[in-house]
Structure 1
């Protein structure tokens, strides 16, 4: 795979993980029960690492929202 193709695939996967992580964090913020481990269940190790990294980021944002309220 050429370098440009690899960059595109990475960016696509990163944005997918970002969207998924932000959705999970938002659902948690709303008080809905969601198991992030189940969400990541069929992901590769790389995808799972990316997902949990982004999830931690979004959880931090929502915690700040709660503190400001």
Structure 2
């Protein structure tokens, strides 16, 4: 049986990301901040527990993060 971390697929819609950084603070490593573009990006999802990634999704002010 696979763990949630292995089965997780995260989409971050950079077209609506405002760079608030909530995701980076909630799940460091799983989300990274692109300083040049001033927006977040999906990093290494294994760097954070599923609960932290889920919290990051819920904390995004623009709803740019989708967990499938």
TM-score by length of 2: 0.31
Q: Which has the higher strand share?
A: 2
Q: Which has the higher helix share?
A: 1
TM-score by length of 1: 0.31
